[in-house]
Chain A
């Protein structure tokens, strides 16, 4: 059974239609890269899937593990297993990073009817995950993302993903603003979490992230629709020819995934 089935999705932001009939199916364990030029609707897709306010779905459906995802509140989607790694992680002064993460994990567990973790159990889990992400404890004691460098913020997103263990992780331009070392670290963290049960939507403008996170499928998003789908070689073609090539070459291919 597919994990995520997006059918003919139309969405508006501030009255402007951004997604214009997007169709995509993701099976458990698959990594799908969504590439496209600026303004194609890449970030809108992540925001719509995670339930951000201000994104109005005007047509289409999104089914996640059999449930109508669009009917759920953002926190319910999180508990159901959807995780968005933000392009611009938010700084929240006054909220301790560890406290925040434990509150999030326990809220999700509670919503799923699982027992909450006490502070000892949580600390044990955090220590395990820290090793994978090579994050220093020091970041844990600071306020959420406050004063973090660009690389630290992105690593913190992936660290949160590691602790929350979602079924579907959406990485929104996780490579933006990273130098090559930070990019490798982030990719390593993501790869460590690949599993037959966990799927990824990797949204990116550039091919270079896909050198380190190898996708099973690559889709080109242009003008609110998927216009081309293929395997990882499609990303290389894009790198070579640019997005203009898709526009000339590709037919609208929303149903091809």
Chain B
């Protein structure tokens, strides 16, 4: 048996979710077999080189939370300024209608839990849900595909432009023991549609759950997505995510990502620019503190003419925290006129903190503009003294400089109230 077996036993001991839909049940079985065959990835795999899963593999997680619907949750836990539109809330992986806001959806917007969409008409989801994309190191996504029985289905009709942002909340609540949940989101923006979307991972108390989440996001021609991904999971929890975006012609997506919570966090963010003139912008901060481990794997594929990607990332680690960033940009043959830039600057606040960053650029086309760079440094002593000499205490001065270091990531976030809220989250006092 592979080293991952205890973890798998715990997962497969629970029966697979039975949908009553033959193709879906077959696909889930196939995915579980693929997961068991592959086992958890180990650090010999390039994509998991800096993120060891041995400790996670030794742990047991109950499958799902039977009490999820009864967990008391204060809506203040997920309230965000400037975000008061449609909302879908999951607590420990279970949909909570009572906390969601799905009445009076704006014209053109379909928003419902995946479980409900499957009951109504599973056929339109067949293609996405039965797609088997075995990629090395994607064992978690096999697991997710096998065990996720819910998630978000969001469809925006061509040309629809709802004003209010859609708020997707994934909340971890304390339970009787450690549990696991798996969710799958399917998001599609029709031609020329525009959407603001806030993906929000948050906790109502300390716990050590494991969550996996898959985002499939399709942007049809000329559509625009403004995506904010705010990850404030419980400090002891584990969260493994994969987001995949497909961008059609002249489609534009902007992702602002804040990775703040979690003990073991992994996010694979992949974008495929498959339509001419598509544009993908990412702005991200990962801030592991204490003993947190946060791994971001950004992969952008330019596959069409005159496509643009622009990525600015900051990493900050204190104490014994660990950050990992890989930014891989591929310009495929024929993707002439592509313009790709990637910058990742990192700040180590302690001699025991570590950040591993690796920008990668692979170009197979002509007339391409590409720039990438990564740095790792420390707080500037001269700046720190300057602030202290004006009376600002050391801890406050460090917080101010750290927030300033990350500030560029939030500069072009359109919603001012949300921008200020996120800026305040970055201005925390960090011990050395």
Residues of A whose CB lies within 8 Å of any CB of B are 50-53, 73-75, 77-79, 83-84, 86, 89-90, 92-95, 100-101, 103-105, 107-108, 111, 143-144, 160, 164
Cβ of B403: which chain A residues have Cβ within 8 Å of it? Answer: 94
The prevalent SS among residues of B at the interface is helix
Q: Which residue of A lies closest to B402 (CB)?
A: A94
Cα A77 to Cα B405 with chains together (Å): 27
Distance of A6 Cα from B393 Cα, bound (Å): 25
Residues of A within 8 A of B380 (CB): 90
* Also in contact, A108 and B391, with CB within 8 A (given A89-B386, A90-B383, A92-B386): yes
With contacts A94-B405, A103-B396, A103-B400 taken as known, whether A86 is within 8 angstroms of B386 at the C-beta atoms is: yes
In the complex where A94-B404, A94-B408, A95-B401 touch, is A100 in contact with B385 (Cβ < 8 A)? no
A90/B407 contact (C-beta < 8 A), A74-B388, A75-B393, A84-B389 known:
no
Size of interface on B: residues with Cβ below 8 Å to A: 24
A53 touches B385 (CB 8 A): yes
Complex: how many Å from CA A73 to CA B396? Answer: 14
Inter-chain contact A75/B391, CB cutoff 8 Å: yes
Whether B416 sits at the interface, judged by CB under 8 Å, is no
Residue of A nearest to B386 (CB): A90
Q: What residues of A have a CB within 8 angstroms of the CB of B10 in the complex?
A: none
Interface string of B371-405 (1 = CB under 8 A from A): 00000000011110111111111101100110111
The CA-CA distance from A144 to B403 in the complex, in Å, is 14
CB pair A92–B392 under 8 Å, yes or no, is no
Question: Smallest CB–CB gap between B151 and chain A, Å?
Answer: 37
- Shortest distance in angstroms between A23's beta carbon and chain B's nearest beta carbon? 24
CA distance A78 to B389 in the complex (A): 6
Interfacial chain B residues near A101, Cβ < 8 Å: 390
Q: A53-B381, A89-B386 are in contact. List 18 more A-B contacts (CB 8 A).
A: A50-B389, A74-B389, A75-B392, A77-B389, A79-B391, A86-B386, A92-B404, A94-B403, A94-B406, A95-B400, A100-B392, A103-B400, A104-B390, A107-B392, A111-B391, A160-B390, A164-B390, A164-B391
In the complex, A74→B389 CA distance in Å? 5
For B346-363 the 0/1 string (1 means CB < 8 A from A) is 000000000000000000
Expressed in whole angstroms, the minimum distance between the Cβ of A167 and any Cβ of chain B is 13
